[in-house]
Amino acid sequence: MVAAGYLETLATNRSSSSTRVKGTLAGMRHIAQTEGLQTLWRGLGPTLVASGPSTVIYFVGYDYLRQWMGKQMRQRDALAPHEKYASLAAGCIARTAAVSAISPIELVRTRMQSSATHDFATVRRGILAEINAGGLWTLWRGLVPTLWRDVPFSAVYWFGYERWKENVYEPLFAAMAAPTTDHSHGAPQPDALARLATAFCSGASSGIVAAVLTNPFDVAKTRRQIERHANLKSNTVQHRTLSGVIRHIVSTEGVGGLYAGLAPRLMKVAPSCAIMISSYELGKSMFAN
């Protein structure tokens, strides 16, 4: 919410420095004081609606593809040494499917967050008018920039997650494990708490790296989706391509403009990645038993 408000302020080309929101806490205070505390939760409804199908498609799709690709690669001598990259490919495919499925809901959420006056009824009327003018594909406006953000994010995230887990946190939390002997195989089984801590920290670390690398695409996606509403004097979208949005940001605000909203994004991504993956791993372990 803070990131969307900050990007709207930049996009309206307001000259007064007092309208600029600088810093995450300052942004939250500004929104709460000028638009009400409840505004910080604007767009929560569409977010909750989208989270169910998105999570199922993403995590289940990744898990299935990762295992299937790994099995196929192990059966081929030329591909076996590169099995670790199966997580990268599986993450890309699963995220593409999930993002494409919920793109219309994402559009509604972004529109609602872009202004205090954009409640669901207002957003719905605006989107219906755009559908009448431009067709049903209007619901997928911003899909390409979103894919440019989320697909590389998923590739970096899942590849990094496997590497962080294997090379850093599994050895680090090995001392926490209280192994019990598996009499069927005679091998020690890691303690559930150690597995949970490993997944949590690996998810947070990989999420931070992925968020930093893909933030420019997040900025471009948000700008493109709210540009029409941020500039009330214009009835057309000024920048129709991702590259056009990025070039405009760099030319008017410098490279630093591509990292607008990075702090609140990290505050969201790090804990959400950690909680999601650790909950998923815990759930798999519980149902497996």
pLDDT, tens digit, for every residue of 130-142? Answer: 788 878 887 887 7
**Beta carbons within 8 Å of 151's beta carbon, 6+ residues apart:** 92, 95, 96, 99
pLDDT band at 147 (very low <50, low <70, confident <90, very high): confident
Distance CA 5, CA 11 (A): 10
Least confident of 142-146, 213-217, 238-242, 267-271: 238-242
Render the burial of 92-101: b for 16+ CB within 10 Å, e for the rest: bbbbbebbee
* The amino acid at 274: A
The DSSP code for 190 is P
Distance CA 129, CA 34 (A): 29
The DSSP code for 241 is S
Q: If we measure between CA atoms, which residue out of 105, 108, 94 comes closest to residue 55?
A: 94
Distance CA 133, CA 119 (A): 21
Any idea which residue has 């997650």 for tokens?
Answer: 161
